[in-house]
Structure 1
């Protein structure tokens, strides 16, 4: 089934109508490995299955995994996890900051052609898994864009033009949103409605938030379960300010669990925290209707594509 505009969300079990996502965690990780996470990698299939079960018990129905190329996505495991849990899963292609990769891995991607890698994973599948990605994940730097970010975003823009896929952006500590939009939507001419800006809760600059929303980008408030992010308590205020400015239809909510210790099955807040604790607090700030829209209709629209491949 597809939407009236012919758009679908590409999940690991196939394309579905945007409205079929249900309650969606718009940014999280079932698997994630990096030299920056020694001893805390998300690499257990059993733990991923248990976390999905806990999320479903809390009312969740879909998860968008932003884990990009070369960071332990375990794409072949995702269809089985989706079937067993009853949770729709969307996988990602893309590339994170250079610090997450060995230099030789990046050299190989340059030789192969990064845009071609993204397009292949969106249209044919990740490796030999047969699982097609449903979004492109890239990353900016702290208050700016280095050469690596410009390379990955240029490749992402090309892959978007070839497929229609949305581009989700890790903003380092929530900064650099306007620089990203200048590059992706200005220089590279990606429609703002196909850009999802992540981690805006980490830099509660309401003026930047309003400018990004006014441009037409999606704003993801994700990762609100990390105690060391001292700005997280400002998230309800940021969401309220955007809603009052008329931008409630541009907002998304995600958990962004990135370490094994943060999983609920290991004693951390994990994915269920988004619905058990964060959602009620946001409801008190902006009302149930808007929060329901953020985790259902908005998510469906943000990740829906009239796929060209």
Structure 2
């Protein structure tokens, strides 16, 4: 895509927001962390099969929230997207400190984190030529430690330079107000450019309503993971938020983070979002709203007036 106007930055180039179609707004094709030993998502073949299964279920785009240093395999993403005939969006950013070696973090401090984020958004990830379309950062459990404040400060700087949305991992769904206070009030990132992940894992509707009233997007993600105790509360939360006027701010994602959770390894995986979660939500809140959560809402959430 060329010319002025909002675009979603995918691994195969910028596209009109409407080109996303049915979107898994938070998932992972590749992921590696010392916190998940033996469960790495690092197989190109398995990623290709998972994308094909999602495409067969009706999916048309996937947003990978895997940030810097966690095995993104950015160079593999364009071929995978083309083979599956899907749009794929990659992320820059940084997760919690526990996912990294201290020497790697020290090197990032020396290089300048915001500059890295901007470079991956505008020039490409390493030498892959693949540009990221969002910034992923993370809070802690009911808190923001020094690492989270450092990464969010860098994310805000990168947002101001590029317009990229900032996607936030909320640990067990907590800390949304702390993030709003830092990222939006102090660092002046517009709330409409902030996407909260995992807020559904802390099913306090007052917290959900406050985050939505501030203007942020809420990603109801992770139902493809095994037995989250709060999954059954999702329809109630979606209904309450919609009745309060926030239906245009809700997203859906699978957040497949382990090899065993993939559909190609007999887990629910990406297709579960459309084959399991979608019909359940449609019965509870109606097809029109769920269609909006899967199409129009992610198109708006990830659209950017990119400077370059």
Q: Please state which band the TM-score falls in when normalised by the shorter chain.
A: over 0.9
Shift of 1:227: 2.7
Per-residue CA distance 1:42-68 (angstroms, 9 max, x = gap):
000000000000000000000000000
* Equivalent pair of 1:201/1:224 in contact (CA under 8 Å): no
TM-score normalised over the length of structure 2: 0.99
Query: Which residues in structure 2 correspond to 1:118-133 (within 5 Å)?
Result: 118-133=117-132
Shift of 1:2: 6.9
Query: Which residues in structure 2 correspond to 1:1-309 (within 5 Å)?
Result: 1=1, 6-309=5-308
Secondary structure of 1:144 counterpart: coil
Secondary structure of 1:169 counterpart: strand
How many angstroms apart in 1 are the aligned matches of 2:79 and 2:265?
22
* Equivalent pair of 2:226/2:261 in contact (CA under 8 Å): no
How many angstroms apart in 1 are the aligned matches of 2:106 and 2:307?
29
Secondary structure of 1:39 counterpart: coil
Shift of 1:40: 0.3
How many angstroms apart in 1 are the aligned matches of 2:99 and 2:6?
33
Structure 1 segments of 4+ aligned residues over 3 angstroms from their partners: none
* Equivalent pair of 1:2/1:18 in contact (CA under 8 Å): no
RMSD: 1.0
Secondary structure of 1:136 counterpart: strand
TM-score normalised over the length of structure 1: 0.98
* Equivalent pair of 2:195/2:216 in contact (CA under 8 Å): yes
* Equivalent pair of 1:144/1:179 in contact (CA under 8 Å): yes
How many angstroms apart in 1 are the aligned matches of 2:2 and 2:278?
28
Gaps of 5+ in 2: none
Number of residue pairs matched by the alignment: 308
Shift of 1:200: 1.4
Shift of 1:221: 0.3
* Equivalent pair of 1:2/1:8 in contact (CA under 8 Å): no
* Equivalent pair of 1:167/1:196 in contact (CA under 8 Å): yes
How many angstroms apart in 2 are the aligned matches of 1:308 and 1:257?
32
* Equivalent pair of 1:28/1:254 in contact (CA under 8 Å): yes
Shift of 1:226: 2.2
User: Structure 1 residues 19, 2: CA separation in 2 closer, same or farther (over 3 Å shift)?
Assistant: farther
